Amino acid sequence: MSMDGGRRAVRPAELLLTSIAAVSWAFLAMAGIAALGLHLLGADAAGALGPMTAAAVVLAVGGSLMPSGDIEAFGLKGAGAHTAIDIAPLGVSLVGALLLGMIFARSLRRAGATIGAGELAVRAASVAVLFLVLLAGLAWAGEDSITFDGSGLGLGGGGGGGGPKLEIPGIGDIGDIAGGLPDRLNGLANAKAAVGFSVRTGPSLLGGAAWVLGVLLIAVLAARRAPLPRGWEALHRGVRPAASALCAVLVLAVGAGLAAAAYAATGDDAPKRVLGAALLGAPNGVFLAVPLGLFVSWRGTASGALTKVLPSPLDELLSARADEPVTLGRLAELDSLVWLLAVACALMMLCVGVLTAVRTPRDGLGATAFAARCAVALGVATAAALPLLVLATRVKADASLSVLGFDVFGAGLELRGNAPMALALGAAWGAAAGALGGLLACATGTAGRRAVSRGPGAAARPAPAGTAAAGTGHPRPQAAGPPGPYRPSPGRPAQDDTNPYKRPLLPDERSTAPTQTGRPLPPPRRPRSSGYRYGAPPPEEPPPPPPGPPPWRR
C-alpha cells in the first residue's frame, strides 16, 4: 500500500509482523505478571489460575467483570452473594504498556526521517485491531467460579434447649440467635458458596480500545527518536522532551516502590503475599501517593476486611472518618512522617524539570526564555498526566455474602480523587518544576545537551552524499576544492601530514612542484634506502620490454 501520496509503500507483511510482535509480547508479559502475582497471593488455591489470570489481564487494560453468586444450604436456595469490583492491577497494566509502546515506537523508525500521517494511522490501527482480537479471546476465557466451604465461614450450632449459636471469627460466641432458627442451622457447615465471575465483553472491548489507543499516543509523544509527520516539528521540540522525562521518572518511582516492597518482604511472616501484592499493585500505590503528595485531595470510605489492604495511616482515616476528604494534612495528624511524602514528590518534580531541560533544544535562547519554554512544556504535560493517574488509581470494591438475611461477612472500599484539582495542581507544579529545572540546566551548562535537535528520526537512516539532510530539507555540503588525487572526506577535516600537496619539497623538486592551477605532477622519484615515506609519490617501476617481431616473422 502507498502512504502520503505515494511517498513510501508499506508492505502488508511488514505491517502484520510488527503488529504481532508488539501485541504478543505485551500480552505474554501481562499474563506472566498476573499469573505470578496471583500464585504468590495464593489465589489459585480457591479457583483455577487460568481464568483468574485472563480476568486480571482484562481488568488491567480497562475491562470489566460481572460477578455472580449463589448458595445452597439444606436444600433451599434462599441465599445470595454479590460483589462489585472496579480496580485495575496497574502492575499488569504498566508492563504491557511499556512493551507495547516501545516495540511500536521502534517499528516506526523503519519509515525514515519522517512518516506520513496516513502511514502512522494505519500502523496504529493495525496494532489496535489485533489487540482487541486477543482481548476478545481473553474475555471468553475469563469466566470461572470460586467455591467456598461453609465450614470455614465461622458458623456453628448448639443443640439442646439453648438453641443454635453464632460464632464470628475474631469475636467469638455471641450467644443464641434471637427468633430461634431451626436446629438445621448446623447444616450451614455443609453449605457450599459458589461465587462466580465473568468478563463483560462489550464494555471490556470499549475499555481496551481506549487503553491501547492511549498507550500508542503516549508512545508517540514520549519516543524522541521516532519519526513524525512533516509539520509536527513543534511537537517534537516542545512536547516530547517533557513527556519522555515525566514517563521516565514515573517508571523509576515504580521501581523504587518495588524495591521497597522487596525489602519489606524480607522481614514479613508471609513474604510471598507481599511480593505478589507488589507485582500486581505497586504502581497503584505509587500513582496514588504522587497526587496525594502534590496536595490533590481524595475522598473515600473503607469497611470490613478490605481496610487491611490500605497502608497506614490511610486505613485509620478512612475507617474513622467516613466520606470525608483525604488530604495530606489529615494524614499528617495521624502520623507526622507523612510530610516526607510531600518532600519526595517535590524532589521528583524537580528531577523531571531538570531532565526536561537537558532534553529540550536551546536554540540560542537566553536562560529566562529557555526556562519559560521548559515551564510551558512541562506544565502542559503534568496537567494532562496527573488527572490520568487519579482516574487510573480509583478504587471501588464491595463484597458481601448473606444467608437467609444474616450477613456472614462483608467488606467495602471506595477511593476516588479530585480530577479537576489534579489538573490545576499539575499545571502549577509542572510549570514551577520546568522553570527551575531550566535555570539549573543553564547554570550548569547542561541545557539541551541530550536534545534530539536534528528532527524526528534523523539518526535512524543516514542520507547519502548529495541528498537532503534528514529533517532539514537542505542538501548536504559537498567537498570543495581543485581536482586532484587527494580529496578528504566531507565529515573529516583535512590533515596536513596526509596531504601529498602539503609535504615538504626537496630542493630539486621546487621548480616542478604541483600547484592548484592545474600544473602536472613532478616526475616520480625513487624511494630512499630508509623506505617509502607515507604521502610521497609511488616508486618508479621499470618500463615493460619492447614487443618482439610477430610470430610469422621469427
- Please tell me the predicted confidence (pLDDT) of residue 524: 56
- Please tell me the predicted confidence (pLDDT) of residue 321: 58
Q: How far apart are CA 228 and CA 458, in angstroms?
A: 11
- Please tell me the predicted confidence (pLDDT) of residue 156: 42
Q: How far apart are CA 143 and CA 66, in angstroms?
A: 9
362 in Cβ contact with 439 (< 8 Å) = no
Q: How far apart are CA 278 and CA 294, in angstroms?
A: 23
The domain ranges of the chain are 232-453
HSE at residue 539, side-chain half, CA atoms within 13 A, is 9
Residue 202 amino acid letter: G
295 in Cβ contact with 304 (< 8 Å) = no
pTM given for the model? 0.70
SS3 content of the chain, % helix, strand, coil (to 5): 55, 15, 30
Residue 373 amino acid letter: R
Our measurement of the distance from residue 531's CA atom to the centroid of its chain's CA atoms, rounded to an integer in Å, reads 63
DSSP for residue 110: G
- Please tell me the predicted confidence (pLDDT) of residue 512: 52
- Please tell me the predicted confidence (pLDDT) of residue 528: 53
Q: How far apart are CA 514 and CA 315, in angstroms?
A: 90
Q: How far apart are CA 522 and CA 493, in angstroms?
A: 26
Query: What is the helix (H) or strand (E) element at residue 6, kind and residue range?
Result: none
Cell numbers 600537496 label which residue? 501
Angle at 132 between CA 126 and CA 133, to 5 degrees: 90
pLDDT tens, 358-388? 999 988 889 999 999 999 999 999 999 999 9
pLDDT tens, 493-534? 555 555 665 666 665 555 555 554 455 555 555 555 545 455
The x, y and z cell numbers of residue 310, run together, are: 490500605
Q: How far apart are CA 181 and CA 164, in angstroms?
A: 7
CA dihedral 428, 432, 437, 442 (to 10 degrees): 130
DSSP string, 376-428: HHHHHHHHHHHHHHHHHT-EEEEEEEEETTEEEEEEEEEEEE-HHHHHHHHHH
Cα–Cα distances in angstroms (integers) from residue 412 to residues 80, 234, 301, 306, in the given order? 17, 48, 8, 6
Q: Is 468 helix (H, G, I), strand (E, B) or coil?
A: strand
- Please tell me the predicted confidence (pLDDT) of residue 468: 42
Q: 528-549: b or e for each residue (b if 16 or more CB lie within 10 Å)?
A: eeeeeeeeebeeeeeeeeeeee
φ, ψ for residue 406, nearest 5 deg: -100, 125
Residues of the chain with pLDDT under 70: 1-9, 46, 66-86, 142-198, 304-311, 319-323, 397-412, 453-542, 548-554
Angle at 549 between CA 547 and CA 554, to 5 degrees: 140
